[in-house]
């Protein structure tokens, strides 16, 4: 994306002027009143782990999603050999807190992996995620060879009819999707739906067969139980890998929802964009895989001191 195009999207100008709203456009979303819990939570102003705790409580608590003796898979962005401050990968503090809370909820095992773009062991190590996960009681598993994947049919897909999916996803009781909030050269932004490309082996197919449709198609087959979008550090340009910390703003934000389309829609607002401007979000909404109309949802917006 050229600089003038980046500025035209809205977030570039807002970030450079320091005028980005607290909730990046979510302030104008009134939403439905909550009954006992919210459909979606947006938290700003804390560290990654504490924002997760606030958000998960608002949408029902970790016990709603993870039960005793269940096998949990957590899928962050770990695709790039880059340090945490570059925001190419998910914040290790967020991942660690999720692992910790799953273990406290009684999970028998919590596994973490990604099908990385750079060399997998360096990505795991230099992202800071491997060390954080192990310290929290989770297990890192590889995704770097085709033998870890099983081909499945995607009967409701339009462009994507088959995919090789990591076996651990297919065997898990709970799947938690934990992307980082970042710019992407092919899809404009990379969020929860885009992050699912990291659980398939043959993702090159997506890029030559209607990328946005394939991203939405895969969501007809794999539906994460929970989506946590990490925006503690947000990559605003040169994604998905980034070039330097100059590409990053310390947004201190986190979005949580079981609805993958709603989560992506809310995070899109943080970029100064409308959900309908992002191809795969609009397609997934029209396929009734979730709701991008945030005004129809009950949303908790919290600012931490």
Indicate if the pLDDT at residue 271 is higher than 80: yes
For 7, the enclosing helix (H) or strand (E) is helix 3-8
CA dihedral 228, 255, 133, 146 (to 10 degrees): 40
How many helices (H) and strands (E) the chain has is answered by 12, 13
Average pLDDT over residues 75-95: 96
Average pLDDT over residues 160-183: 97
Per-residue model confidence (pLDDT) at position 30: 73
Distance CA 295, CA 209 (A): 33
pLDDT in tens, 186-201: 999 999 999 999 999 9
**Residue from 293, 151, 154, 296 nearest 213 by CA:** 154
Confidence of residue 22 (pLDDT cuts 50, 70, 90): confident
Residues 106 and 208: beta-carbon distance below 8 Å: no
Average pLDDT over residues 131-156: 97
Which residue ranges form the domains of the chain, and what is each CATH number? 29-303 (3.40.50.11440)
- The lowest-confidence range among 127-136, 186-195, 242-251 is 242-251
Alpha-carbon distances of 188 from 5, 182, 210, rounded to whole Å? 11, 9, 15
The two three-digit tokens of residue 219, written as one number: 């969501």
The two three-digit tokens of residue 15, written as one number: 């970030």
Confidence of residue 15 (pLDDT cuts 50, 70, 90): very low
DSSP symbol at 253: E
Per-residue model confidence (pLDDT) at position 36: 67
**Residue from 248, 112, 101, 92 nearest 181 by CA:** 248
Indicate if the pLDDT at residue 34 is higher than 80: no
pTM for this model (two decimals): 0.92
**Residue from 304, 287, 265 nearest 31 by CA:** 265
Residues 245 and 255: beta-carbon distance below 8 Å: no
Indicate if the pLDDT at residue 233 is higher than 70: yes
**Residue from 274, 223, 237, 231 nearest 254 by CA:** 231
Distance CA 268, CA 42 (A): 12
DSSP symbol at 256: E
């Amino acid at each position: 994306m050229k600089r003038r195009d980046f500025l035209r999207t809205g977030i570039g100008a807002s970030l450079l002027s320091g005028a980005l709203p607290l909730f990046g456009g979510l302030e104008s979303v009134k939403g439905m009143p909550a009954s006992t819990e919210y459909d979606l939570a947006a938290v700003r102003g804390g560290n990654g782990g504490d924002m997760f705790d606030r958000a998960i409580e608002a949408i029902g608590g970790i016990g709603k999603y993870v039960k005793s003796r269940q096998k949990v898979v957590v899928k962050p962005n770990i695709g790039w050999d880059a340090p945490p401050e570059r925001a190419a990968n998910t914040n290790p503090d967020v991942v660690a807190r999720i692992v910790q809370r799953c273990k406290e909820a009684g999970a028998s095992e919590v596994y973490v992996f990604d099908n990385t773009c750079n060399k997998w062991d360096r990505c795991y190590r230099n992202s800071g995620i491997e060390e954080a996960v192990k310290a929290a009681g989770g297990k890192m598993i590889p995704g770097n060879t085709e033998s870890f994947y099983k081909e499945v049919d995607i009967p409701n897909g339009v462009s994507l009819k088959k995919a090789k999916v990591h076996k651990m996803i297919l065997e898990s009781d709970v799947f938690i999707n934990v992307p980082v909030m970042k710019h992407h050269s092919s899809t404009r932004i990379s969020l929860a739906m885009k992050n699912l490309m990291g659980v398939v082996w043959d993702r090159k197919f997506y890029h030559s067969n209607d990328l946005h449709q394939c991203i939405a198609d895969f969501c007809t087959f794999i539906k994460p139980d929970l989506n946590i979008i990490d925006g503690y550090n947000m990559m605003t340009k040169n994604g998905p890998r980034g070039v330097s910390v100059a590409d990053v703003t310390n947004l201190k934000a986190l979005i949580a929802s079981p609805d993958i389309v709603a989560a992506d829609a809310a995070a899109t607002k943080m970029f100064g964009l409308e959900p309908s401007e992002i191809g795969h979000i609009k397609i997934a909404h029209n396929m009734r895989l979730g709701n991008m109309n945030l005004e129809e949802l009950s949303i908790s917006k919290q600012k931490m001191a």
